[in-house]
Chain A
Amino acid sequence: GESVGLHLPTLSVQEGDNSIINCAYSNSASDYFIWYKQESGKGPQFIIDIRSNMDKRQGQRVTVLLNKTVKHLSLQIAATQPGDSAVYFCAEGFQKLVFGTGTRLLVSP
């Protein structure tokens, strides 16, 4: 069945460090992935997406890498800031959105 999971529940980093959040998926037919950021008490906020015909996509301070061979994707945040502290979810977006467990990112000043 479909499942999207994350490796680490909590990631603590220092301000200015680069952060890497990982995600594994099980549906080999998945062809579209999205990273969301969720702050406490709010709905998820779109960060970046990637389609299966790509291995890498860059945004502002963020990069998503997709490895279809091992069904793994990651979100890299450069120069992490305290405002980046939140829970990050990957989601598989083909036809419906299935969310992973989530990783809480804690950024210390």
Chain B
Amino acid sequence: GAVVSQHPSWVICKSGTSVKIECRSLDFQATTMFWYRQFPKQSLMLMATSNEGSKATYEQGVEKDKFLINHASLTLSTLTVTSAHPEDSSFYICSARGGVGQDMNTEAFFGQGTRLTVV
């Protein structure tokens, strides 16, 4: 299957600082990327959906000013957690899918995830 690379795999930051997480599709063009957050022993919670070249669509309850998403190219999307606080500590996972229009319903490929710890 296609490869999605997420970086970094883990990061520790001080409260009040910002952290950027990168998600790259290595061998296909990702027209759509998804960002998820996962707490221990829980499911993946969709935070936002981003399409290349347009603004991300955030799920209800997700602060768009806190979780900045940029999808500037067909192979790269970034999630920036601004002014991070301990409650932002979590496992963040990106996903990418290619295809447009009738081909939108295709499998999505996931990155390895990023473990964020805010101290």
* A-B Cβ contacts below 8 A, count: 55
Which residues between 40 and 81 of chain B lie within 8 Å of chain A, taking CB atoms? 42-46, 49
A97 CB contacts on chain B under 8 angstroms: 34, 46, 95, 108
Q: Would you give the shortest CB distance from A11 to chain B, in whole angstroms?
A: 15
Interface residues on A, range: 20 to 34
CB pair A99 B46 closer than 8 Å: yes
B42 CB contacts on chain A under 8 angstroms: 102
Given contact pairs A43-B110, A93-B105, A99-B46, enumerate 4 new A-B contacts (beta carbons under 8 Å).
A43-B113, A44-B93, A46-B1, A46-B110
A residues adjacent to B (C-beta < 8 A): 31-32, 34, 36, 41-46, 49, 51, 89, 93-102
B residues adjacent to A (C-beta < 8 A): 1, 4, 6, 34, 36, 42-46, 49, 91, 93, 95, 104-105, 107-113, 115
